[in-house]
């Protein structure tokens, strides 16, 4: 599985029944990272998927902050 965009990460979360919407884009990205971390810690996704997802989300967060 290749994760390159926020949409890809959203689709991954959707596979586990998780639909995340925060007050704004930054809070949504933060909530998504929390859920990805919980999936990893629960053993539902492997380390490579976890790393790719976190990289995508943090990249998106940087874009938001540096806008």
CATH number at residue 45: 1.10.287.760
> Cα Rg for the chain, rounded, in angstroms?
11
pLDDT surpasses 90 at 67: no
Can you read off the two tokens belonging to residue 29? 């990205």
Q: What is the pLDDT of residues 37-48, one digit of tens each?
A: 999 999 999 999
End-to-end CA distance of the chain: 29
In angstroms, the CA 27 to CA 61 distance is 9
The reported pTM is 0.90
Q: Which domain holds residue 49?
A: 6-66
In angstroms, the CA 23 to CA 20 distance is 10
User: Would 1 be classed as within a structural domain?
Assistant: no
User: Would 51 be classed as within a structural domain?
Assistant: yes
User: Would 53 be classed as within a structural domain?
Assistant: yes
User: Would 41 be classed as within a structural domain?
Assistant: yes
Q: How many domains does the chain have?
A: 1
């Amino acid at each position: 599985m290749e994760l390159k965009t926020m949409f890809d990460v959203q689709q991954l979360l959707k596979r586990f029944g998780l639909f995340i919407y925060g007050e704004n884009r930054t809070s949504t990205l933060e909530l998504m990272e929390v859920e990805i971390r919980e999936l990893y810690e629960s053993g539902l996704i492997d380390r490579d998927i976890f790393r790719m997802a976190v990289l995508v989300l943090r990249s998106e967060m940087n874009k938001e902050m540096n806008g």
